[in-house]
Structure 1
Amino acid sequence: MTPSEYEFLKRFLKERSGLVLSDDKQYLVESRLVPVARKTGIDTLSALVSALQRGGNAALASNVVEAMTTNESFFFRDKTPFEHFTNTMLPAMLDKRSKTRSFKIWCAAASTGQEPYSLGICLREAGAKVAGWRVRILGTDLSTEVLEKAKAGIYSQFEVQRGLPIQMLLKYFTQQGDLWQINPDLRAMIEWRKLNLLENFSHLGEFDIVFCRNVLIYFDQQTKIDILQRIAKLMPEDGFLVLGAAETVVGLTDAFQPVPGQRGLYQPKQPAARAVPRYAVAGGLTGV
């Protein structure tokens, strides 16, 4: 791949996905795009770049973006956010939403689904506390391939061993040979949609809790600011935003403020402009 071809790919990926690649990542691009070229019958990476430059091949463009998107995820990843959910966010929702007995969660960049399913397990483990409540969990991602895996809820032995306690595995999964599938009632709690965070997402409606972890680190500063400000518009004043351990709102936006003593947890700092009326999302809510 020539330097000019790599520069084109850097611009292409930033425009399509927000991914910012440094000059020393050419090896990574080549290793991930060679299989894409082979799968589509293209002989070389130079030919693949030429095809992208000509345009008109939406499938190829989508395959390139998906190949370069990091889809690392595992159950109860980093533990702390799920402790915050159980000990801080859920009690707050049970208190502040006692009249409607409902709230909504959005997992942005949900990848292969372990994060939304982990939250679903937390809700199931809450037992009688949430009995009769309606909770909607929406998982979105840029990649069609990972969303299909998330919908199926089927994971390898290696995947379920990463962060998932054995008692929860046996309680919420059914073994299928060498694979494990999440039980139907837990799968039914979650809705999946394809979504690019660079595009308008106001149509999703308002969310009480937003998990947007380990995705902002791949964007440049202005893109981070834009995404955070648009998320703030979808949240009520008493909502919660969860970011990854290496991410922060500090220095980016004053729309959120850290929750004292709760690493990676934030709340809206100022009244957020309402994009749509509360709970006006097609598809309704799913009962816990």
Structure 2
Amino acid sequence: MTDAGFNEIARAIRAVSGLALSADKGYLLKARLAPMMKQRGLASLTDLASRLPTAEGPALLREMAEATTTNETSFFRDVTPLRQIAEVVLPELDAARPAGAPIRVWSAACSSGQEAYSLAMAAEEAGSRRRLDILGTDLSAAMVERARAGLYTAFEMERGLSTAQRTRWFREERSGWRVAEAVRRCCRFEVLNLLGDLRSLGTFDIVLLRNVLIYFDPPTKERVVAACAAHLAPDGVICLGATETLLGLQAPLAPVAGLRGVWRRA
């Protein structure tokens, strides 16, 4: 049976991060929040919910939002759209941009940074000479710190990377494998909530909004897509995950013919 505090906590988390938790996710929610509940001596979600109206409520809510964020990622995940961006979209944008101007990329919900670094590697492998300015953002401060460090475990290195890529783009250290400086200098990372104030971001040529919308309900999907599209250059593109689509949603974008998961202003 779902804890009586589930609905209140689910509503609070949804308001902060947009994550839609159905009623059958009570056990999952309690498992994700178990460490912070144990730390505070709380036995149930109801006990946790009772703390939300108190002075510690805002800090608790931020911690809950981070704890329930899914940080699944890997290098070159769903590689086809990344290759399309590197081999088709970047040359088009390069031809349309003045000499010396960087191509700005936003990796939204970047988790621990593999997506941002993968695109930087793919661009180099495709022969791109245009400077990339890649901004990775995530709700989780812990993930952003990992992304900034650019240090990955042996297990993470085995997911999506070839031996040649590992040799070319990483340096082995005692505590893991660190992304080479040539790749790291293209990327920077910041904590950002996609449902928050995005006005400071500026305009991007490419937005990677991959494997994010699957966690939202339709109204939240529309809100996030509209917010991202508002920061897209007129000829820029948004790239979605393999299982994501905007069909059936009110969105100011249309699919790009011949490119999988790539959308442009309608």
Using structure 1 for the length normalisation, give the TM-score.
Answer: 0.87
Residue in structure 1 matching 2:133, options 121, 136, 159 = 136
The answer to whether 1:70 aligns with 2:51 is no
- SS of 1:239 mapped into structure 2: strand
Q: In structure 2, how many angstroms separate the alpha carbons of the residues matched to 1:58 and 1:151?
A: 26
Match of 2:160 in 1: 163
- SS of 2:232 mapped into structure 1: coil
Match of 2:194 in 1: 197
Match of 2:87 in 1: 87
Match of 2:182 in 1: 185
Q: Structure 2 regions of 5+ residues with no counterpart?
A: none
The letter for the 1-side match of 2:80 is: T
The letter for the 1-side match of 2:213 is: L
Match of 1:17 in 2: 17
The letter for the 2-side match of 1:77 is: R
Task: Report deviation, 1:3.
Answer: 4.2
How many residues are paired up? 265
Q: Is residue 157–residue 178 contact of structure 1 (8 Å, CA) maintained in 2? A: no
Q: In structure 2, how many angstroms separate the alpha carbons of the residues matched to 1:52 and 1:191?
A: 33
The letter for the 2-side match of 1:186 is: V
Match of 2:43 in 1: 44
Task: Report deviation, 1:99.
Answer: 3.9
- SS of 1:193 mapped into structure 2: strand
Residue in structure 1 matching 2:214, options 214, 217, 225 = 217
Task: Report deviation, 1:178.
Answer: 5.3
- Aligned ranges for residues 268-287 of structure 1 at < 5 Å? 268-269=265-266
Match of 2:27 in 1: 27
Q: Is residue 107–residue 138 contact of structure 1 (8 Å, CA) maintained in 2? A: yes
Task: Report deviation, 1:100.
Answer: 4.7
Task: Report deviation, 1:56.
Answer: 2.9
- SS of 2:24 mapped into structure 1: helix
Q: In structure 1, how many angstroms separate the alpha carbons of the residues matched to 2:68 and 2:55?
A: 18
Q: Is residue 228–residue 253 contact of structure 1 (8 Å, CA) maintained in 2? A: no
Q: In structure 1, how many angstroms separate the alpha carbons of the residues matched to 2:214 and 2:159?
A: 22
Task: Report deviation, 1:123.
Answer: 2.5
Q: In structure 2, how many angstroms separate the alpha carbons of the residues matched to 1:57 and 1:24?
A: 25
- SS of 2:33 mapped into structure 1: helix
- SS of 1:106 mapped into structure 2: strand
Q: Is residue 107–residue 211 contact of structure 1 (8 Å, CA) maintained in 2? A: yes
Match of 1:145 in 2: 142
Percent identity between matched residues is: 39
Task: Report deviation, 1:35.
Answer: 1.4
- SS of 2:84 mapped into structure 1: helix
Moved more, 177-186 or 151-160: 177-186
Task: Report deviation, 1:31.
Answer: 1.0
Match of 1:172 in 2: 169
For the aligned residues, what is the CA RMSD? 1.7
